[in-house]
Chains A and B, each alone.
Chain A
Amino acid sequence: MDREKRVANYFLLAFGLISIALMSLPLTGKVQAFRAYAAYLYDPLPYYGFQGLQRIRQLPPDVVRLITADAYSRELEAELKQTALLRAEAEGLRRENERLAASLSLSTSAPKALRWARVIEREPQNWHRALMIDAGAEDGLEVGSPVLAAEDGRLAVAGRIVETSRRTSKVLLLSDELSAVAAYFPEGQWEGLVQGQGSVRLKMNYLPVEAQVRIGDKVATSPTSATFPPDILIGMVSKVFERDPFLAFQVVEVSPAVHPGRLKEVLILRRKRKEAP
């Protein structure tokens, strides 16, 4: 018997014995361990093969997406150019408006710049009254700056800044008893004053007795407000109090459009610095 045949017989014996042991003792720990080890050695090939395959398969859709994105980007670029033109027109109109208002001695609202800030702290005992935000005097915030918040995709009044430090500010929420904002019903034009009560609900005072108010009516900031721009949503009427014969006005309860307890980010309107002429 030549050497190669002898070696082949030994291999056959070894591999055959291993195979038979694997088949006949499938539930023993050693066979299970061997099986697991074999799977560990062999699995990467199909696994990484599949991953690579998926990447190759994903390539055509990715290229299509890239081309679509490029076309979309070109459209947006063209739109942006138009926007720049519109902005220049608007700026011209604003300046013209300022000149005309100045010549008629009318005061105009100063242009506002926007600044988003995150709520960084709240005092548990004053949960509905005040909060701290991560923007301060360095960011151009001033005491009295109006603070808005977004909920369900719409902006609404949240409060105003009462203290500023370099990098943080304190916001007095509209629900605080010391807060008040001139408000009106955009549909009926009735004016009043929305005040906080230290809880989630607000109160709207000084409504004319003849005002027809219904539950669900929208309440917005009045054009007469010294702090807030007009027509910013405050909330909805949630209760109409019975008329007090001793009062010369009527009172309604307002449910705020943004829940003071859920505020995470706020938008501050700050005065735009005047550009040098």
Chain B
Amino acid sequence: MKPLRALAFFAAGIVVEWLWSTLLPVFGLAPRVVLILTISAASCGGSVAGQCYGFFWGLFLDVLSAHTFGAGALALTLVGYSVGNLRRQMDVSSPPSQMMVVGFVSVAYGLFVGLMGLVFERHFYGPGWYDLVLGTLYNVLVAPIFFAMTRKVLED
């Protein structure tokens, strides 16, 4: 039952990411759902779960993207690993702390993907200022919802 639930959670992450970015963008902005879910999955299930979800969700983002195939997978794997390892050292149970973690990781993620583009394709494919600031803000605002949902799905 657990693998099935994990698979459903994984598929739901992709569907919600796609739906939100397709149907509900506000001024062209949508939250990076799979990034928030990777953080929340890693904080709930540990670094192995976080890396697995992160790697395959990252591949999904890479398939959609036209540049640096593999950058999203590596970035989300690192997110899963880092958050999973640090979850005992930090408190991610309250919404403000979740928002802080998501805010910090969102900026780091954007810069890392851009950097990977610079290294492997000699072009910085990172987010512009607009996306970096407002996109991160959007991620931060919706983070508690996804944390609550992840907890409900993975911890039941």
Contacts and interface: CB of A to CB of B under 8 A. Distances in A.
Given A4-B48, A8-B48, A49-B15, A16 B69 contact: no
B73 A19 contact: yes
Contact of B62 (A4, A20, A38, A43): A38
Dominant secondary structure of chain B at its interface with chain A: helix
A200 to B, nearest CB: 60
A218 to B, nearest CB: 61
Nearest to A50: B22
Contact of B120 (A5, A16, A24, A45): A24
B38 to A, nearest CB: 12
Nearest to A45: B14
Contacts of A16: 74, 77-78
Contacts of A64: none
Contacts, number: 87
Which size bracket describes the interface of A in this complex?
Answer: 20 to 34
B56 to A, nearest CB: 9
Nearest to B75: A19
A19 B63 contact: no
A21 B73 CA distance: 11
A42 B77 contact: no
Contact of B70 (A19, A39, A43): A19
A266 B84 CA distance: 79
A178 interface: no
Tell me whether chain A's interface is mostly helix, strand or loop, or mixed: helix
Given A4-B47, A5-B85, A16-B77, A35 B14 contact: no
Given A8-B46, A23-B71, A15 B51 contact: yes
Interface of B: 11, 14-15, 18-19, 22-23, 46-48, 51-52, 55, 58-60, 62-63, 68-71, 73-74, 77-78, 81, 84-85, 116, 119-120
22 contacts: A4-B47, A7-B48, A8-B47, A8-B48, A8-B81, A8-B85, A11-B48, A11-B77, A12-B81, A15-B74, A19-B71, A19-B77, A20-B74, A23-B68, A26-B68, A35-B69, A38-B59, A38-B60, A42-B14, A42-B63, A49-B19, A53-B23
